[in-house]
C-alpha cells in the first residue's frame, strides 16, 4: 500500500536523522587533505603528507577531509591511511565521491549510483578502513537527477558503510531534493573573508535545517596566509594559476587587503593565519573551518587559531576591511 510505504519511509528517515545527528559531531577546525595530493603545488612528498596529518592529530585537529579524486590515484587517501595507522580511533574521516580523473589530468563528474558505490569501496581500501564517518557527494552531476546520486548515498548510510552523508558544492534546491531521499548532515562550500557567496541563502538554509556547514578555502588557497609575493608567478604545475583571484589587478587588490588584515593581526599580537582562521570560525552558521596545509609546520601555526579569542572590535575592523575591498572575481577559473 503506497500510504503505508510512505509512512515507513518517513519513520526510517527520522530514525536515520537521529542516528546521523548523534554520530556526527564536527569540531571547529579540520584538516583539508587536498594539498597533500600534490596537485595544487607539485612536490609534496608522501613523507611530508604523513607528517602533516600526524601533526594535525597531535594538535587536536582530528577531522580529516579528503576525496576519491584527491590525487589521480587517491594519493591523499593513501597518505592518510599511512598517517593514521594505530590512531584510527582518534580521527573523524570524511571523504567525497562522484568526481574522478581521466588521463590527461581532466576531472570528470560522475554521480551515477554504480560509480558512487564503486568509488566508495575503493576509497575504503585506500584508507584501510571499513567505514567512513562522513561521505559527501562531491558535486551534483547535472547529467542525472540528484535524487539518483542521493539514493546511492542513502544505501551506504543504511548499510552502515558511512556514518553520515553530506552534499558538497550544492545549492539550496539541490540540498532540498537530496534530503528528500537521504538525510543530509553536512554541506561543504567555499567561504572566506573575501568569498562569502553562501551568506545570504545557503547558510541560513543550512542553519534552519541543522545541516553542518563545512567551509573550505578559508585561506583562499594560501593567499590569506600573506605568503604570496606581489610578483608571484605560479608554475604551470600549480593549479592556482587558473584562478582569476591570483591574476593581474585582482591579485594586487587582494594583496592590498592582506596587508590591511596583517596590520590588524600585528596590532593584536596574532599571526595573520590565526586571525584569518579565528575570524572564519566565529562566523554565524559556520560549523567547521577546513584548512589545507602541506607541512607539519603550517599545521602547528594554523592550530594556534584554536586558542585565539577575537574581541568584537577586532571583528568589526576586519568586517570594515572586507567591505572596503568589495566583491572579488573569486573562484572563477580562466
Ligand X SMILES: NC(=O)c1ccc[n+]([C@@H]2O[C@H](COP(=O)([O-])OP(=O)(O)OC[C@H]3O[C@@H](n4cnc5c(N)ncnc54)[C@H](OP(=O)(O)O)[C@@H]3O)[C@@H](O)[C@H]2O)c1
Q: Which residues of the chain form contacts with ligand X (CB under 6 A)? A: 32-35, 40-41, 65, 168-169, 188, 216-222, 225, 227, 273, 290-294, 298, 301-302
Q: Cβ of residue 10: shortest distance to ligand X, in angstroms?
A: 30
Nearest one of 199, 243, 197, 188 to 221, comparing CA atoms: 243
Q: Cβ of residue 99: shortest distance to ligand X, in angstroms?
A: 8
Q: Cβ of residue 238: shortest distance to ligand X, in angstroms?
A: 8
Closest residue to ligand X: CB criterion = 292
Q: Cβ of residue 224: shortest distance to ligand X, in angstroms?
A: 7
Choose between 288 and 314: whose C-beta lies nearer to ligand X.
Answer: 288
Q: Cβ of residue 189: shortest distance to ligand X, in angstroms?
A: 7
Choose between 135 and 219: whose C-beta lies nearer to ligand X.
Answer: 219
Choose between 138 and 154: whose C-beta lies nearer to ligand X.
Answer: 138
Nearest one of 67, 287, 23 to 157, comparing CA atoms: 23
What's the grid cell of residue 125? 581500501
CA distances from 158 to 122, 137, 163, 186 (A): 19, 16, 9, 17
DSSP string, 32-48: E-SGGGTSSSTT--HHH
* Cβ partners under 8 Å of residue 104, min gap 6: none
What's the grid cell of residue 214? 563545512
Choose between 185 and 302: whose C-beta lies nearer to ligand X.
Answer: 302
Q: Cβ of residue 5: shortest distance to ligand X, in angstroms?
A: 34
Q: Cβ of residue 275: shortest distance to ligand X, in angstroms?
A: 12
Choose between 254 and 302: whose C-beta lies nearer to ligand X.
Answer: 302
Choose between 19 and 197: whose C-beta lies nearer to ligand X.
Answer: 197
| Grid cell 577546513 in the structure block, residue | 290
- Dihedrals φ, ψ of 108, to 5°? -125, 130
Rounded distance, CA 122 to CA 124, Å?
Answer: 5
Nearest one of 134, 109, 140, 101 to 120, comparing CA atoms: 134
Q: 268 by DSSP, 3-state: which? A: coil
Choose between 7 and 240: whose C-beta lies nearer to ligand X.
Answer: 240
* Cβ partners under 8 Å of residue 177, min gap 6: 145, 146, 147, 150
Amino acid at each position: 500500500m503506497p500510504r503505508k510505504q510512505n509512512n515507513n519511509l518517513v519513520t526510517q528517515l527520522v530514525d536515520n536523522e537521529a542516528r546521523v545527528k548523534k554520530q556526527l559531531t564536527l569540531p571547529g577546525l579540520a584538516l583539508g587533505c587536498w594539498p597533500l595530493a600534490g596537485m595544487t603545488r607539485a612536490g609534496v612528498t608522501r613523507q611530508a603528507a604523513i607528517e602533516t596529518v600526524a601533526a594535525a592529530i597531535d594538535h587536536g585537529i582530528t577531522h580529516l577531509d579528503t576525496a576519491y579524486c584527491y590525487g589521480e590515484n587517491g594519493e591523499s587517501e593513501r597518505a592518510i591511511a599511512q598517517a593514521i595507522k594505530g590512531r584510527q580511533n582518534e580521527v573523524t574521516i570524511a571523504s567525497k565521491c562522484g568526481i574522478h580523473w581521466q588521463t590527461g589530468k581532466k576531472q570528470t563528474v560522475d554521480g551515477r549510483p554504480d560509480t558512487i558505490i564503486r568509488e566508495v569501496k575503493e576509497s575504503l581500501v585506500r584508507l584501510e578502513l571499513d567505514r567512513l564517518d562522513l561521505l559527501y557527494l562531491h558535486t551534483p552531476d547535472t547529467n542525472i537527477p540528484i535524487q539518483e546520486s542521493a539514493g546511492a548515498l542513502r544505501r551506504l548510510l543504511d548499510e552502515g558503510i558511512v556514518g553520515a552523508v553530506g552534499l558538497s558544492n550544492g545549492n539550496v534546491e539541490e540540498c532540498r531534493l537530496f534530503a528528500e531521499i537521504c538525510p543530509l548532515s553536512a554541506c561543504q562550500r567555499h567561504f572566506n573573508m573575501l568569498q562569502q557567496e553562501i551568506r545570504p541563502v545557503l547558510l541560513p538554509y543550512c542553519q534552519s535545517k541543522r545541516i553542518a556547514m563545512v567551509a573550505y578555502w578559508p585561506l583562499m588557497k594560501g593567499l590569506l596566509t600573506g605568503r604570496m609575493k606581489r610578483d608571484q608567478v605560479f608554475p604551470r604545475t600549480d593549479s592556482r594559476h587558473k584562478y582569476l583571484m591570483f591574476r593581474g589587478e585582482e591579485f594586487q587588490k587582494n594583496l592590498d587587503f592582506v596587508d590591511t588584515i596583517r596590520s590588524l593581526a600585528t596590532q593584536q599580537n596574532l599571526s595573520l593565519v590565526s586571525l584569518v582562521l579565528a575570524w572564519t570560525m566565529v562566523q554565524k552558521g559556520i560549523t567547521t573551518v577546513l584548512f589545507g596545509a602541506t607541512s607539519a609546520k603550517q599545521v602547528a601555526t594554523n592550530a594556534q587559531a584554536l586558542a585565539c579569542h577575537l574581541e568584537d572590535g577586532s571583528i568589526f575592523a576586519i568586517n570594515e576591511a572586507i567591505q572596503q575591498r568589495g566583491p572579488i572575481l573569486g573562484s572563477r577559473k580562466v
